[in-house]
Each structure stands twice: as structure tokens, then as C-alpha cells.
């Protein structure tokens, strides 16, 4: 049996795009996802794009019995760990749920990996681990911690666990991938970001305004110390981000220890710049109003991704125009996200 990559949370936004790139790199994939914030339709769309099957187990990463069965049934050589709750605001309202899912769930996964003698892990981390006082651009050598919300703290905690685990096990190899702001969609228009309820992130909200699902966008603050007064962020095309995971898998296959890598473009765009870029791409006007600042929003941050280019051989290739065009293609063709395709034929799940 060929070696396989286990992808936790593989039916989600970033996970589904990573599956495409993994399949394109001739890797066989196995997915675990509890579908709490994702759709099985995404997996059938991945198979449609790649022409390759996706073996899917519906269940929770904290379910040790299920994990042991997955490792027993398959020839897993490495794991990409996406599964986790990720809404910053919600994490402040439900901290216990975030710590149980993101931190405790990772511990269960690590224990199952140890029992199965699987030593290679790529972890979906976040730029939030740099905290509120880090200077820009963020570099991997900065001190982490001092996070402003339980979501960021949970990512930081998991990083510390993985670093300690790699120190204790000389054969363990871990890539900590610190994301900035993933946006966009696959150029096919078949998979993309499909938030449930009110979007927490800027671009899916703009896209929903563009298709008439929401009346207007709120821009939180226009008095920041930035050129146009709005917050600036490092936006990264999700396809570039997905390709970074393939490069990280190559790294963990040939190295040991835990190493952090920033995945970003190294450029920051403001909220108003994103609005204008989307309007240009979609040919529609985005109505917006200026609203009060949100607590915890930083004026600006972006990545220094030179380490990823130097060590992983990875560099972001897609620009703002592609991010906006691909987002609009996905949203305009799927105005209700995957829910509009919920009655299509879907993959059969393995019994949990």
C-alpha cells in the first residue's frame, strides 16, 4: 500500500485546497473531519478537480478510538493538522470549547501518532501567536505569546506542546506554519470559503455583499495610523498557502525537530484597498459604512516570509487581482456556498 497523508479538517476552506495540491503532487490522502464548520460536498469537488478519490472518515480529532482505527486501516506516513475552531470573537465567548478542541484535540492526535509510529506533522498555526506587541514585519525569531484572544492562545499552546514533543523525541519532525490572511478560492470555482452564519473575515463578507446576501460592509475604524486610516493585513491566496503545505511535507520528510515558517506575501493591503480591488474584479460596487474600531484589532501586520523561500523553496506567486477574481468566481457561482449543492451525490464516509 502506498504511503498516505492524513489531513485533519480536510473538508474545510484551507484543508480542501491543500487536498487538491496534495493530489496534484501524487500523494494519496485520507481525511478526518467532523463537518462542524465544513461540508462533505467540498471533498466531492476535490475529487472532481483532481480526478482522484478522497478517503473520508467523519468524526472528531479528539476521538482516540476513531484515530486508532484510521491509523490501523491506512498506511499513514505524515499528518497535516488543520482541525480546529478559528473564530477570534467566538473564542472569547467560548474559551473552554476552543481549548478543548484545539489543544486537547491535538494532544489526542499526538498520542495516536505516537502509538502508530508516525513521526511527521505539519501544523496549521497562525500569525496571532506573535501577540499584540510584536514589531512588523513578523519574523520567526520573534518571541511569541502575549496573545489577545483564546483562539490565538490555543495556537500558541499547541506550538509549545509540539516544540516540547520534538525535543523529547529525536525522531519527530514538525513544521509550524504561521498563516497570515488566507483569501481567494480555487480557480475552477468549485471550492472556496463557505462560512456558516455571519462571516468573521473581510473578504467573504465583501463577497456576500456583492451577491446581495448582505446589504453593506462595516469598516471598523478609519483613524488608524495607516495611509488611509484603515487596518492593513498580509493577504495570501489560499492556493499559494496550500502549496506551502506540500513544501512543508517535503521538509518534515527530510528533517527532525520543530521549525516555524511564516506563510505570507510580505505585503500589506488596507481594508479600503481590498474593497477597491474587489470592485475592479467583480464589476460591482460594495456599499460600506465606517463603524467604530473593534477591540483588539491591530493597525497593521505582515509577514517576513524569506525563511520559507530559503528553506522550503516556497514563495507566494498570486497577487491581489487573482485573489479577488477567484473569490468572485467562487461566490458568484455558489451564492449559497456548498449548501446549494447539498443534494448532489457525496462521498460515502467510513464508519466512525
Q: Which positions are catalytic?
A: 151
d(CA 305, CA 260): 11
d(CA 322, CA 199): 21
d(CA 88, CA 173): 29
Q: How far is CA 310 from CA 19, 136, 252, 263, in A?
A: 24, 20, 15, 12
Residue 301: all three cell numbers together: 501586520
Residue 154: φ, ψ to 5°: -65, -40
Long-range contacts of 228-232 (CB under 8 A, 24+ apart): 228/270, 228/272, 228/273, 230/270, 230/271, 230/272, 231/270, 231/271, 231/297, 231/298, 231/299, 231/300, 232/268, 232/269, 232/270, 232/299, 232/300, 232/301, 232/302
d(CA 41, CA 59): 16
Grid cell 523525541 — which residue?
169
Residue 106: φ, ψ to 5°: -65, -35
Nearest to 235 by CA among 147, 323, 138: 323
Residue 127: φ, ψ to 5°: -65, -15
Residue 326: all three cell numbers together: 477567484
Residue 11: asked if its preceding bond is cis (omega within 30°), the reply is no
Amino acid at each position: 500500500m502506498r504511503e498516505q497523508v492524513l489531513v485533519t479538517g480536510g473538508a474545510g476552506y484551507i484543508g480542501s485546497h491543500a487536498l487538491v495540491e496534495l493530489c496534484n503532487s501524487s500523494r494519496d490522502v485520507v481525511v478526518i473531519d467532523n463537518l462542524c464548520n465544513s461540508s462533505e460536498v467540498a471533498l466531492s469537488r476535490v475529487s472532481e478537480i483532481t480526478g482522484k478519490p478522497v478517503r473520508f472518515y467523519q468524526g472528531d480529532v479528539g476521538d482516540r478510538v476513531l484515530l486508532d482505527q484510521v491509523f490501523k486501516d491506512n498506511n499513514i506516513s505524515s499528518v497535516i493538522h488543520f482541525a480546529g475552531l478559528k473564530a477570534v470573537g467566538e473564542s472569547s465567548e467560548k474559551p473552554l470549547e476552543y481549548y478543548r478542541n484545539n489543544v486537547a484535540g491535538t494532544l489526542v492526535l499526538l498520542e495516536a501518532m505516537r502509538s502508530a509510529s508516525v513521526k511527521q506533522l505539519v501544523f496549521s498555526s497562525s500569525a496571532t501567536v506573535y501577540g499584540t506587541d510584536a514589531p512588523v514585519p513578523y519574523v520567526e525569531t520573534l518571541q511569541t505569546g502575549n496573545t489577545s484572544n483564546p483562539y490565538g492562545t490555543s495556537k500558541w499552546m499547541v506550538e509549545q506542546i509540539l516544540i516540547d514533543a520534538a525535543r523529547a523525541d529525536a525522531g519527530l519532525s514538525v513544521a509550524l506554519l504561521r498563516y497570515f490572511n488566507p483569501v481567494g478560492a480555487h480557480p475552477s470555482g468549485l471550492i472556496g470559503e463557505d462560512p456558516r452564519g455571519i462571516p468573521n473575515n473581510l473578504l467573504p463578507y465583501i463577497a456576500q455583499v456583492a451577491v446581495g446576501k448582505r446589504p453593506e460592509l462595516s469598516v471598523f475604524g478609519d483613524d488608524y495610523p495607516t495611509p488611509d486610516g484603515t487596518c492593513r493585513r498580509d493577504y495570501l491566496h489560499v492556493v499559494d498557502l496550500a502549496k506551502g503545505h506540500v513544501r512543508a511535507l517535503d521538509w518534515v520528510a527530510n528533517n527532525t525537530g520543530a521549525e516555524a515558517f511564516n506563510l505570507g506575501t510580505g505585503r500589506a493591503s488596507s481594508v479600503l484597498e481590498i474593497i477597491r480591488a474587489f470592485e475592479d474584479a467583480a464589476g460591482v460596487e460594495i456599499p460600506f459604512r465606517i463603524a467604530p474600531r473593534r477591540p483588539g484589532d491591530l493597525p497593521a501586520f505582515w509577514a517576513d516570509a524569506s525563511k520559507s523561500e530559503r528553506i522550503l523553496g516556497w514563495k507566494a506567486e498570486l497577487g491581489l487581482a487573482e485573489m479577488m477574481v477567484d473569490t468572485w468566481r467562487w461566490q458568484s457561482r455558489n451564492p449559497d456556498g456548498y449548501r446549494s449543492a447539498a443534494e448532489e451525490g457525496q462521498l460515502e464516509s467510513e464508519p466512525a
